[in-house]
Structure 1
Amino acid sequence: MIPLDPENWSLLQGIIVFCVCALVIAVAGTRITGVVDQLADRTGIGEAAAGAVLLGASTSMGGVVLSVTAAWNGHAELAVSNALGGIAVQTFFLAVADMVYRRANLEHAAASVPNMMQNGLLICLLSLILFAPYLPEYTIAGVHPVTPVLLGVYIYGIYLVRGATEAPMWRPSVTGETREDEPDDVNTMPSLPRLSAEFLVLMAVLGIAGWRLEPAATVIANKTNLTQTVVGVMLTAISTSIPELVTSIAAVRRGALTLAVGGIIGGNAFDTLFTAASDIAYRGGSIYHAIPDDSKFWAVLTLLMSGVLMMGLIRREREGIGMIGMESVVITVLYVLGVVLLLTGG
């Protein structure tokens, strides 16, 4: 039997709790993508907007709770590395989804102005996080001024994404491989109240799993002498991002390509708010000034990966190496390189 107090957990008990929580996140996160897809059709908000807000936020619930819990417990390195590592691995997952879709390059087939807007928003938010440590370490009630700016930029960015969805000023060229997500028959779906209730329950399950994942990750870090950055990037970030991988592949196979791409990019933009939420929870001052160099490296790497993705979304290469886009190849190489450097201490 596993003690309630994490300080009494052994390494094996920490690993068991970690694996159970990761499994719960994977199952609940997979289920919630179908609910979000139906909510998008029921409410008429569209696949791109649903991917950006509903799917991105809900599948990230485990990660945000973990980061906030870690920050509250004084583990700033774990909180930030989980957030930034999650964005990097989810960008890599988009390349994996591209490998699954064999008809053409995924970024070509799922051409979408809102998705490009979301990616631009992500780049702005990551830049703000990297900019914060160079500002004075000044806080108001323990919160750095960049935190409300991050929240404001995100809200305004989502407003712009919605505008680009409803009244785009230009449209991507339609080709034989371009796929627009078609709404399903709402008459065959559960009622809106039932879908909403299931959505909220699944979000709560994801939050609880993320809350229990944090002490398990801390035990693993302490018992194995791994740095919190390694644990955050390689363990918690990947485990809390499993829903994004599963849901993006499921969406691609179902033909909901815009939802697949929008869910990843929208989730990435939302994940930057992990840092803002962690700064509010962190009582040791500005969490931005506690970001270690390894975590800053992952933020810079993610910026580079996002820039490559943006160029891929604009270029819209029909086919590339092995029937995947060149941007997917570059993103994969960059992520693997980052992992190698992290594990070797390079």
Structure 2
Amino acid sequence: MDYLFLVIGLALLLLGAEFLVDSSVAIAKRAQISSFIIGLTIVGMGTSAPELFVSLSSALSGHGDVAMGNIVGSNICNIFLILGVSATITPFAIQNDIVKRDIPFGIFAALLLFVLANDSRIFNSAESGLSRIEGIVFLVLFFAYMAFTITKSLKNRSKEEEEEAESKLSGKPLPLLILIAIASLAGLIGGGNLFLSSAENLARAWGVSEAVIAITIVAIGTSLPELITSIIASLKNNSELALGNVIGSNTFNILLILGTASTVHPFSIQGIRIEDFAVMIFATLCTLGVAFSFRKYFFTRGEGIFFLVCYVGYTAYLVVR
């Protein structure tokens, strides 16, 4: 039954995220909010909602390893698997702003998470994990980054072609859109809890630690929306969108999701090892490396294959571990 509940929970997460995005976009367009703001905020939050609810529910239930492992594993999956698949299907150019602003900030966020989550090993403090103060620091950094990004993008908006956010629910009555948004949110919460509990039961049945399950199964499951979207974008020759989405999603995961989870309920970690954080940092650094290796500001197919090999190798290491 746990396998069935795992699938049902994942389905609720995916459907909930999809309908939350569509209903939110439709509501926002009714309020005449710009498509850029919709894409950067509402759509971004919707696609990262599975990670948010899994990590938040894990922290509240005292499973810090799952909360942290979900984010560490999702970030590794986003870079090595999703970008690897995207570049392997269709190599693409890397935007200048992403290289100069978003990638360096993503590296900073990953390094900050490593230091704060492993303070017991680095500074000989009581235990590893995230405190409420550290969570608040993450949230402040996130909203400052968002404010800076939105302000800068709005200034450059007149120079760029406006791209309207689309929603399958456009034109539906406003009361129906609100009901769909509420139902989607309920589906996300229920799916996150169901997915989490079944993953924990499977971890115990397999004799595998919660940390490894979180970094692999849970992380891949909550990253499926981004993976599917990136594959479709690559098949439509829009692979350049994948890099910006992944970098933004990873920063979102660390600063907003872990910031929210630890602010609501501080948690400790035991099963997430130094090498797991090291792989996440290495993956983040690789996004900068591909911008300057082989073809400058270009993600080649060979680099995409290298990313996939890294992901397979890391997953194999976790299974053996």
TM-score (norm 2): 0.79
Where 2:290 maps in the other structure, the secondary structure is helix
1:181/1:255 contact within 8 Å kept = no
Q: Which of 95, 112, 115 matches 1:111?
A: 95
TM-superposed CA distance for 1:95, in Å, is 2.0
Indicate the percent of aligned positions where both proteins have the same amino acid. Answer: 17
Work out the CA distance in 2 between the residues paired with 1:55 and 1:263.
11
Q: How far apart in 2 are the matches of 1:208 and 1:149?
A: 29
The letter of the residue matching 2:259 is A
Check conservation: 1:55, 1:267, Cα contact below 8 A. Answer: no
| 2:145 is the alignment partner of 1:157 | yes
Aligned to 1:3: none
Report the AA paired with residue 164 of structure 2. P
1:77 is aligned to 65
Change (3 A) 1:138 1:51: farther
Write the deviation string for residues 21-62 of structure 1: whole angstroms up to 9, x where unpaired.
11222344455566677789863242xx65543333212222
How far is 1:116 from its partner? 5.6
Structure 1 unpaired stretches of 5+ = 1-12, 172-178
Aligned to 2:287: 309
Residue aligning to 2:260: 277
2:8 corresponds to 1:15: no
The 2-side partners of 1:255 and 1:191 are apart by 31
Structure 2 letter corresponding to 1:302: M
Aligned 8 A contact 1:125 1:269 in 2: yes
Look up the match of 1:95: 84
Indicate conservation of the 8 Å contact 1:72/1:282, yes or no.
yes
**CA offsets, 1:148-174, max 9 Å, x none?**
111111111112222332335xx9xxx
SS of residue in 2 equivalent to 1:241: helix
Letter in 2 for 1:94: L
CA distance in 1, matches of 2:146, 2:219: 24
Q: Does 1:233 align with 2:211?
A: no
Structure 1 residues 33 and 58: alpha-carbon distance in aligned structure 2, compared to 1, 3 A threshold: closer
TM value normalised by structure 1: 0.74
Distance 2:234 2:147 in 1: 26
Contact residue 10 and residue 195 of structure 2 kept, 8 A: yes
Report Cα offsets for 1:113-153 as digits up to 9, x if no partner: 257633333222221111112356479xx934322111111
SS of structure 2 residue aligned to 1:43 = coil
Cα 1:61/1:135, change in 2 over 3 Å: farther
> CA separation in 1, counterparts of 2:21 and 2:237?
13
Corresponding residue for 1:329?
305
> For 1:263, which of 230, 233, 245 is the aligned residue?
245
Cα 1:44–1:277, aligned 2, differ >3 Å: closer, same or farther?
closer
Paired letter, 1:244: E
For residues 180 and 217 of structure 1, what CA distance do their matches in structure 2 show? Answer: 44
| AA of the residue aligned to 1:96 | V
Inter-partner Cα distance in structure 1 for 2:234 and 2:163: 13
Unaligned residue ranges in structure 2 (runs of 5+): none
CA distance in 1, matches of 2:171, 2:224: 26
Q: Does 1:245 align with 2:227?
A: yes
Q: 1:76 to 1:20 in 2, by over 3 A?
A: same
Please give the alpha-carbon distance, in whole angstroms, between the structure 2 residues aligned to 1:185 and 1:337. 38
Aligned length: 305
Q: Is the 8 A contact 2:21 2:42 kept in 1?
A: no
Q: Go from structure 1 to structure 2 and tell me whether the alpha carbon gap of 1:201 and 1:68 turns closer, same or farther (over 3 Å shift).
A: same
